Amino acid sequence: MAENRPLYLGPRLRRLRRELGLTQQAMAGDLDISPSYVALLERNQRPVTADMLLRLARTYRMEITDLASEDGENYAQRLNDILRDPVFDDIDLPSLEVSDLAMSFPGVAEALLRLHGAYTREQQALAEQRDAEPGEQDSDPVREAQRFFAASRNYFHALDAQAEELAGEIDQAGGMEKWLGSKGVRVRFLPPDVLMDAMRRFDRHNQQLLIDDTLDCPSRAFQIATHIAHTALRGAIMQIVRGQDFASKTAATLIRRALAGYGAAAILMPYRKFARAVQARGYDIEALGGQFGMSFEQVAHRLTTLHRPGEERVPFFFIRVDEAGNVSKRLDGAGFPFAAHGGGCPLWNVHQVFRRPGELHTQWLELPDGQRFFSIARTVTAGGGRHGRLRVVRAVALACVAEEAGKLVYAGEADPASAPTTPIGVTCRLCHRAECIARSVPPIGREILSDDHRRAAQPYSFAES
């Protein structure tokens, strides 16, 4: 009789505690039990009683079904399912042993489930890569998220409009902290060790939004606004996500998180107010950052979203890279061609700004097909804030078509048609500029001359095609 079986929620309880940022002792205090009893519950050495289930739901303001549905009695069944994989065919795995593992060693069981899930996803990705036709979309969740935002030109009207209306309410309330206070939420700034190195954590039990006190002012504001977006704008975000068919849960999660960041930026830099300031200041990113209390990167990111019908501004391509050339963010609103795989062109100054950190660099670019763009690039930092914490330096760049550059203070009086340009390519594999000395590999489709008796300045000489 299933209704009489004991309920074990060890992994779910441990995950809940970590999500809340609580120690076992703190959770024990909340639930009025001993820390050792919390440890026994997490190790599945004690079942969760009906009274304890109600106490958990009431203390942390959760639905009972949210607590009980995820791990419960199907936990052993999930292990049985993965152990039927043909890779385990030659191992004798009695069901009783699997059940004992799930109940007595939930940490090991969770590790096995996670490892098999990663193995399955990698196998599927490899199979799809082998079977994919030329041009077929792959199953990479990061690329899927990038395609999603590119298709929308990184503008979501309903979300932006709702965030702008919310920004008005917040302004009337006297700021985000006071607005949250009116909703019963207190904002507190605490040391990172108290927050277990989280930048932001919401304490549902005490209705407190906890923020790392070593963050700078723009980062503090953005973290508070992100929490507001996750709550007050949740309906608008979920409506966007529900309207799509994503290949994986990871892609949906990445997109939902990015939309919350979009909503936070729209709260801090409301569309009409920001668009007017952009035009008045000639897209001066540092000046806009000072006006809105935002960082260089936050303002640059917001500039890519200004596509409201009738109130459009210059469309930009945005990219963020580290010193190794890894791309951690890419948004395209300007039709800028960029390689999905492999490195970008080393002649683009986004890869050179690391030599002079904090300085803004401009550059006129010309692609092999004659398209011209104007680029702004600068380094930005993340992390730090206290002694011993790692600080990461990245480069961000904005690029717009050359014809729009005259609207930017950075272009000066230069004529886009005659300004000296740097010839770049999308990536070496797709660039056929024979004279480029920065080339790393030959382009696809070109035969290489042997050059036994001659060495040119460029790495390769190509046969006539």
Largest pairwise CA distance in the chain: 87
**Alpha helix positions (H), 43-138:** 50-59, 64-68, 75-82, 95-104, 106-131
| Confidence band for 125, pLDDT divided at 50, 70 and 90 | low
With residue 390 as reference, give the H or E element that holds it. none
Contact 386, 404 (CB under 8 A): no
Phi/psi for 353 (5° steps) reads: -70, -15
SS3 assignment, position 303:
helix
Q: What is the pLDDT of residue 217?
A: 95
Residues 6+ apart with CB under 8 A from 3: none
Q: What is the pLDDT of residue 464?
A: 55
CA distances from 195 to 35, 76, 124, 127, 202 (A): 20, 33, 37, 42, 10
Q: What is the pLDDT of residue 113?
A: 81
d(CA 187, CA 444) in angstroms, rounded, equals 56
Flag whether pLDDT at 226 surpasses 80.
yes
Residue 158 neighbours by CB distance under 10 Å: 13
Flag whether pLDDT at 127 surpasses 60.
no
SS3 assignment, position 438:
coil
Name the residue among 195, 202, 192, 231 with its Cα closest to residue 383.
192
Segment 137-149 shows an average pLDDT of 78
d(CA 380, CA 442) in angstroms, rounded, equals 33
Q: What percent of the chain has pLDDT over 70?
A: 86
Q: Which two tokens stand for residue 66?
A: 């949210």
Segment 316-333 shows an average pLDDT of 88
pLDDT tens digits along 417-443: 889 999 887 777 777 777 788 887 777
Name the residue among 67, 145, 88, 128 with its Cα closest to residue 328.
145
CA 109, chain centre distance (Å): 29
Flag whether pLDDT at 145 surpasses 60.
yes
Residue 375 neighbours by CB distance under 10 Å: 24
Among the listed ranges 104-113, 164-173, 205-214, which one has the minimum average pLDDT value?
Answer: 104-113
In 275-417 the beta strands, taken as DSSP E runs, fall at 317-322, 327-332, 361-366, 372-383, 391-401
Q: For helices 157-173 and 271-280, what crossing angle results, to 10°?
A: 90
Q: What is the pLDDT of residue 191?
A: 92
Flag whether pLDDT at 2 surpasses 60.
no
Q: Which two tokens stand for residue 326?
A: 């890894």
Among the listed ranges 5-19, 185-199, 230-244, 387-401, which one has the minimum average pLDDT value?
Answer: 5-19
Segment 176-182 shows an average pLDDT of 97
Q: What is the pLDDT of residue 330?
A: 87
In 122-264 the beta strands, taken as DSSP E runs, fall at 186-190, 200-203, 208-212
Q: What is the pLDDT of residue 66?
A: 67
d(CA 172, CA 168) in angstroms, rounded, equals 6
Name the residue among 133, 147, 121 with its Cα closest to residue 244.
147
- Four-residue CA torsion sign, 63, 64, 70, 71: positive
Flag whether pLDDT at 449 surpasses 70.
no
CA distances from 170 to 46, 143, 165, 175, 270 (A): 47, 35, 9, 5, 11
Q: What is the pLDDT of residue 184?
A: 95
| Confidence band for 141, pLDDT divided at 50, 70 and 90 | confident
Q: What is the pLDDT of residue 70?
A: 47
The whole-chain average pLDDT of the chain stands at 84
Beta bridge pairs of residue 397:
319, 377
d(CA 260, CA 237) in angstroms, rounded, equals 7
End-to-end Cα distance, the chain: 77
Flag whether pLDDT at 282 surpasses 60.
yes
Q: What is the pLDDT of residue 334?
A: 66
d(CA 463, CA 445) in angstroms, rounded, equals 11
pTM: 0.75
pLDDT tens digits along 75-121: 677 888 888 766 676 788 888 888 777 776 777 877 888 787 777 76
Beta bridge pairs of residue 200:
211
Segment 264-275 shows an average pLDDT of 97
Q: What is the pLDDT of residue 72?
A: 42
Single-letter code of the amino acid located at 377: A
Segment 232-255 shows an average pLDDT of 89
Contact 188, 211 (CB under 8 A): yes
Flag whether pLDDT at 292 surpasses 90.
yes
Among the listed ranges 155-159, 304-308, 316-320, 344-348, which one has the minimum average pLDDT value?
Answer: 344-348
Q: What is the pLDDT of residue 339?
A: 57
Flag whether pLDDT at 135 surpasses 50.
no
Q: What percent of the chain has pLDDT over 90?
A: 43
Beta bridge pairs of residue 126:
none
Segment 232-259 shows an average pLDDT of 89
Flag whether pLDDT at 74 surpasses 80.
no
| Confidence band for 170, pLDDT divided at 50, 70 and 90 | very high
CA distances from 274 to 175, 268, 286, 305, 374 (A): 17, 9, 13, 11, 22
pLDDT tens digits along 352-378: 899 999 999 999 998 877 889 999 999
Q: Which of 71-80, 93-102, 142-151, 449-458 has the highest mean pLDDT?
A: 142-151
Q: What is the pLDDT of residue 300?
A: 96
Q: What is the pLDDT of residue 260?
A: 96
Q: For helices 249-268 and 157-173, what crossing angle results, to 10°?
A: 40
Instruction: Please tell me which residue, 334 or 258, carries the higher pLDDT value.
Output: 258
